[in-house]
Protein backbone atom coordinates (compact mmCIF):
# COMPACT_ATOMS: atom_id res chain seq x y z
CA UNK A 1 0.00 0.00 0.00
CA UNK A 2 2.81 2.45 0.81
CA UNK A 3 4.42 2.17 -2.65
CA UNK A 4 1.07 2.97 -4.27
CA UNK A 5 0.14 5.80 -1.93
CA UNK A 6 3.45 7.69 -2.17
CA UNK A 7 3.44 8.07 -5.99
CA UNK A 8 -0.26 8.94 -5.94
CA UNK A 9 0.25 11.53 -3.20
CA UNK A 10 3.25 12.99 -5.07
CA UNK A 11 1.19 13.23 -8.26
CA UNK A 12 -1.72 14.90 -6.46
CA UNK A 13 0.53 17.48 -4.77
CA UNK A 14 2.33 18.22 -8.04
CA UNK A 15 -0.99 18.70 -9.83
CA UNK A 16 -2.20 21.03 -7.07
CA UNK A 17 0.97 23.14 -7.24
CA UNK A 18 0.73 23.41 -11.04
CA UNK A 19 -2.91 24.52 -10.81
CA UNK A 20 -2.20 27.11 -8.11
CA UNK A 21 0.89 28.47 -9.87
CA UNK A 22 -0.94 28.63 -13.19
CA UNK A 23 -3.94 30.42 -11.73
CA UNK A 24 -1.72 32.97 -9.97
CA UNK A 25 0.43 33.66 -13.04
CA UNK A 26 -2.56 34.17 -15.32
CA UNK A 27 -4.17 37.08 -13.48
CA UNK A 28 -2.93 40.53 -14.37
CA UNK A 29 -4.58 43.84 -13.62
CA UNK A 30 -5.51 46.30 -16.33
CA UNK A 31 -3.89 49.73 -15.94
CA UNK A 32 -7.21 51.04 -14.60
CA UNK A 33 -7.57 48.21 -12.06
CA UNK A 34 -4.06 48.81 -10.70
CA UNK A 35 -5.29 51.93 -8.90
CA UNK A 36 -7.35 49.72 -6.55
CA UNK A 37 -4.33 47.59 -5.59
CA UNK A 38 -1.95 50.09 -4.01
CA UNK A 39 0.49 48.39 -1.64
CA UNK A 40 0.12 44.99 -3.28
CA UNK A 41 2.64 43.08 -5.33
CA UNK A 42 0.98 42.50 -8.67
CA UNK A 43 1.18 42.39 -12.43
CA UNK A 44 -0.23 45.05 -14.73
CA UNK A 45 -0.83 44.22 -18.38
CA UNK A 46 -1.27 46.65 -21.25
CA UNK A 47 0.05 48.36 -24.35
CA UNK A 48 3.02 50.70 -23.92
CA UNK A 49 1.76 53.70 -25.86
CA UNK A 50 4.80 55.86 -25.09
CA UNK A 51 8.19 55.56 -23.42
CA UNK A 52 8.55 58.88 -21.64
CA UNK A 53 11.62 60.45 -20.07
CA UNK A 54 12.46 62.94 -17.34
CA UNK A 55 15.25 65.52 -17.20
CA UNK A 56 16.91 63.34 -14.51
CA UNK A 57 17.26 60.41 -16.93
CA UNK A 58 14.39 58.28 -15.62
CA UNK A 59 12.23 56.46 -18.19
CA UNK A 60 8.53 55.66 -18.00
CA UNK A 61 6.64 52.82 -19.70
CA UNK A 62 3.28 54.58 -20.07
CA UNK A 63 0.06 52.63 -20.62
CA UNK A 64 -3.32 54.06 -21.60
CA UNK A 65 -2.04 57.32 -23.10
CA UNK A 66 1.14 59.38 -23.20
CA UNK A 67 2.05 61.45 -20.12
CA UNK A 68 0.24 63.26 -18.50
CA UNK A 69 -2.91 61.34 -19.47
CA UNK A 70 -1.46 57.85 -18.86
CA UNK A 71 -3.35 55.38 -16.68
CA UNK A 72 -0.25 53.46 -15.46
CA UNK A 73 3.55 53.69 -15.62
CA UNK A 74 6.43 51.32 -15.22
CA UNK A 75 9.06 53.64 -13.71
CA UNK A 76 12.71 52.98 -14.50
CA UNK A 77 15.20 55.09 -12.53
CA UNK A 78 18.40 56.33 -14.19
CA UNK A 79 20.61 53.63 -12.54
CA UNK A 80 18.15 50.95 -13.73
CA UNK A 81 18.10 52.49 -17.23
CA UNK A 82 21.88 52.01 -17.32
CA UNK A 83 21.48 48.42 -16.06
CA UNK A 84 18.65 47.44 -18.46
CA UNK A 85 19.90 49.40 -21.44
CA UNK A 86 18.19 52.46 -22.90
CA UNK A 87 17.86 50.86 -26.37
CA UNK A 88 16.05 47.85 -24.87
CA UNK A 89 13.66 50.08 -22.92
CA UNK A 90 12.94 52.31 -25.92
CA UNK A 91 12.19 49.19 -28.01
CA UNK A 92 9.26 48.40 -25.69
CA UNK A 93 7.14 51.26 -27.07
CA UNK A 94 4.21 49.82 -29.02
CA UNK A 95 4.53 46.41 -27.33
CA UNK A 96 2.03 44.71 -25.07
CA UNK A 97 3.68 44.05 -21.67
CA UNK A 98 3.14 42.55 -18.26
CA UNK A 99 4.98 44.52 -15.58
CA UNK A 100 5.32 42.93 -12.14
CA UNK A 101 6.24 44.57 -8.85
CA UNK A 102 4.93 46.59 -5.93
CA UNK A 103 2.05 48.83 -7.00
CA UNK A 104 2.29 52.37 -5.64
CA UNK A 105 0.38 55.56 -6.37
CA UNK A 106 2.24 58.73 -7.35
CA UNK A 107 0.32 61.92 -8.17
CA UNK A 108 -2.94 59.93 -8.44
CA UNK A 109 -1.49 57.42 -10.95
CA UNK A 110 -0.53 53.78 -10.28
CA UNK A 111 3.03 52.75 -11.01
CA UNK A 112 5.55 49.97 -10.49
CA UNK A 113 9.26 50.64 -10.02
CA UNK A 114 11.16 48.45 -12.50
CA UNK A 115 14.70 47.46 -11.48
CA UNK A 116 15.20 44.23 -13.43
CA UNK A 117 14.30 42.72 -16.81
CA UNK A 118 12.60 39.84 -14.98
CA UNK A 119 9.82 42.31 -14.06
CA UNK A 120 8.97 42.84 -17.74
CA UNK A 121 7.29 40.23 -19.91
CA UNK A 122 6.47 40.88 -23.56
CA UNK A 123 3.04 39.45 -24.37
CA UNK A 124 2.33 38.21 -27.87
CA UNK A 125 -1.16 39.28 -28.86
The domains found in the chain, sorted by start residue, are 29-122 (2.40.50.140)
Mean pLDDT over residues 5-13, rounded?
58
Whether the CB-CB separation of 62 and 49 falls below 8 Å is answered with: yes
Torsion of CA 106, 58, 122, 48, to 10 degrees: 60
Q: Using pLDDT thresholds of 50, 70 and 90, give the confidence band for residue 18.
A: very low
- The predicted pLDDT at position 125 comes to 77
Quote the DSSP letter at residue 17.
Answer: H
- Tens of pLDDT, residue by residue over 45-68, are 999 999 999 999 999 999 999 999
**Residue 13 clears pLDDT 60, i.e. is over it:** no
Q: DSSP characters for 103-117?
A: EEEETTEEEEE--SG
- The predicted pLDDT at position 19 comes to 47
CA angle, 123 as apex, 92 and 90 as ends, to 5°? 5
Torsion of CA 109, 44, 28, 89, to 10 degrees: 170
- Tens of pLDDT, residue by residue over 57-115, are 999 999 999 999 999 999 999 999 999 999 999 999 999 999 999 999 999 999 999 99
Q: DSSP characters for 65-86?
A: SSTTS-SEEEEE-HHHHHHH-H
Amino acid sequence: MKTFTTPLLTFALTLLLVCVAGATALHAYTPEEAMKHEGERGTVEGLIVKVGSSPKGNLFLNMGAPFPNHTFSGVISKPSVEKLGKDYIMSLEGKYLRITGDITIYKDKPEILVNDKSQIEIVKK
